[in-house]
Amino acid sequence: MRFRLPTFRLVLAAAFTGIVACSPAPAPPGKKPEAASAAAAAPAAPAVDAKRAKIDVATIEIKHDLGSKPVITVYIKNTGTTAASDVAWRANFAVAPPEVMDSSVIEHDKEVPKTPLPAGQTLSFVHDFPSWDPRLDEKLQKHEIAFVAIGEILYKDADGKDHVTNYKWVSGGRFGRKDVEPLKWAPAADGNSGD
C-alpha cells in the first residue's frame, strides 16, 4: 500500500514552546505551486491548542452470546497532543429504552480515582452484568430496549484548565438496532458533548 506525503514537511519542532516551522513541499502533480504556497501562509492554530489534551470515547465493545451474561468494555482515548491529568471517569450501564436514560443516572458527587492519561493512550472500563434475564433478549430483538453506556470524563489539560466529556452510546447487542450493526455501538442522538 502506498501513502501520499502531506503537502508540508516538518523541518523543525520546538517541543517546549509549541512552535512548529514548516516548509512547503513540492506541489502534487496537477496542482499549481501557488496553491501549496497559499496553504503555507494559512494562520497557525493558537499556541494553547498545541498543548490541549482531548479525551473522547474511542470505541465500545460488547460480548453478548446466547445463554451468557453480556460484557461491555468502553475505551476512552486522549486524542490530544499532551497528557491529561486528574482524569476522573464515571461510567454507567443499563438495558433500557435509550430515551429514558440521561445524565441523572450518573453519580456526579461520587468520589472516583483520578489518573493521568498520556497523549495517544487509552483507558478501558469493563462492565459485567451481575445477572441476565433471557427475556431481555426478546425485548432487545424487538428494539424495545437497548444496551446503554452513559458517563462523564473530567480532566485537566496541560494549562490546568478543566474539561468534561459526556457520552451516551447505544447497542442492540447481538441483534443490532436501526442503523447499528449487531455487536456494534453508536452515539445516541442526545447526551454527547465535550469541550
**CATH for 155:** 2.60.40
Q: What's the pLDDT tens digit per position in 175-189?
A: 999 999 999 999 999
| CB 59 within 8 Å of CB 185 | yes
Whether 38 and 69 map to the same domain: the answer is no
Q: Is residue 2 part of a domain?
A: no
Give the span between the Cα atoms of 154 and 84, in whole angstroms: 10
Q: What's the pLDDT tens digit per position in 4-38?
A: 323 222 222 222 222 222 223 333 444 444 444 44
Whether 83 and 114 map to the same domain: the answer is yes
pLDDT of residue 172: 97
Whether 135 and 161 map to the same domain: the answer is yes
Q: What is the mean pLDDT of the chain?
A: 80
Q: Is residue 50 part of a domain?
A: no
Q: Is residue 1 part of a domain?
A: no
Whether 38 and 88 map to the same domain: the answer is no
Q: Which amino acid is it at 82?
A: T
Whether 86 and 134 map to the same domain: the answer is yes
Mean pLDDT of 40-44: 46
pLDDT of residue 51: 73
Whether 37 and 61 map to the same domain: the answer is no
Q: Domain span at residue 22?
A: 8-44
Q: Indicate the pLDDT class of residue 48, thresholds 50, 70 and 90.
A: very low
Whether 169 and 92 map to the same domain: the answer is yes
Give the span between the Cα atoms of 30 and 23, in whole angstroms: 20
Judged against a pLDDT cut of 70, whether residue 87 lies above it is answered with yes
DSSP 92-148: EEEEE-GGG--GGGS-TTS----EEE-TT-EEEEEEE-S---THHHHHHHTTS-EEE
Whether 95 and 29 map to the same domain: the answer is no
Give the span between the Cα atoms of 165 and 147, in whole angstroms: 20
Give the span between the Cα atoms of 182 and 7, in whole angstroms: 39
How many domains does the chain contain in total? Answer: 2
Whether 33 and 60 map to the same domain: the answer is no
173 DSSP 8-state letter: G
Whether 103 and 133 map to the same domain: the answer is yes
Q: Is residue 161 part of a domain?
A: yes
Whether 28 and 59 map to the same domain: the answer is no
Whether 21 and 93 map to the same domain: the answer is no
Percent of the chain with pLDDT over 90: 69
Q: Is residue 137 part of a domain?
A: yes
